[in-house]
Amino acid sequence: MGEGALSGRRIVAVYAHPDDESYTFGGCICKYTEEGAEVTVLTFTRGEAGTIGGGSDATPETLGEVRELELEDACKILGASDVRIFGTPDGGTKETEEGVQAIVDVLRELKPDILVTMEPHGVTRHPDHIAVSNMTERAFERARDDGFPKKFYFAAYPAAALNAFNAGLKERGIKWLDPDDPFYPQPADDQSIACVVDVMPWIDRKAAALIAHRTQSDEIINWLPEDMRGLFLGGEAFQRIHPPREKGEPAENDLFTGIR
């Protein structure tokens, strides 16, 4: 068990693919494990339908195994001690009773203080992301009788942050995804954001974790100029599902606000 103000506290993060955890939650994993919390990453797929780059000798047959190891490496860099893969098909993860129950089982086993998943549009509209978000919400409703998790958040990409990032790219003449691209991030309404955690102090570790997903070398982290990393990765934003946000409640800057 870690030492620090959050010793004995626990976070469960549920994602669809290896690397989702690092993009939307990597800085928080660094921050909270440094304070002594334990973080479990539950990933549904092995990412076996992803690209094979980075000079990797992975083949389509071995990519799932290779990406499982990459996920373990990334989580080690971030400080997450517990990495679990459920094993649904990459690109074919559907909302199922088994999937919901798998999350319920983890919640009942670990009784986390905090549960995190992607917001229901899946940030990039990827169908696996959407299925995992929906299953996590159903699992939360089922497992919460025990009083855990105390807080439940959706990781989201706020419109203001996405606009600032796009403006930064434009200034440098860097072309990225077209807003019509199927996986262009879906900006969340800025007013819906209930918590923004400043993860700039951990930006290098977050970038290292993303780069540890070596087969995914065409991902943004590998071409983004280093001095633009903060603009894209320096804040992690969340909508809060539980407890419900009160009218006029200001945004938190810490997932453990109120339960430290």
CB-count exposure of residue 36 (10 Å: 0-12, 13-18, 19+): middle
Question: From CA 49, how far away is CA 26, in angstroms rounded?
Answer: 22
121 part of the interface to Zn ion, by CB under 5 A: no
Measure CA 74 to chain center: 12
CB 219 to Zn ion: min, Å: 10
Between residues 183 and 223, which has the closer beta carbon with respect to Zn ion? 183
One DSSP character per residue, 172-195 reads: TT-----TTSTTS--PBPGGG--E
Which parts of 35-75 are beta strand (E)? Answer: 38-45
Between residues 23 and 256, which has the closer beta carbon with respect to Zn ion? 23
DSSP reduced 3-state for 126? coil
10 part of the interface to Zn ion, by CB under 5 A: no
Residue nearest to Zn ion (CB): 17
20 part of the interface to Zn ion, by CB under 5 A: yes
Please select the residue that binds Zn ion; options are 9, 13, 14, 17, rule is CB under 5 A: 17
CB 191 to Zn ion: min, Å: 26
CB 19 to Zn ion: min, Å: 7
- With the C-alpha atoms ordered 178, 239, 19, 131, is the resulting torsion angle positive or negative? negative
CB 228 to Zn ion: min, Å: 21
67 part of the interface to Zn ion, by CB under 5 A: no
Place of tokens 């203001």: 160
CB 258 to Zn ion: min, Å: 30
46 part of the interface to Zn ion, by CB under 5 A: no
The footprint of Zn ion (CB under 5 A) covers: 16-17, 20
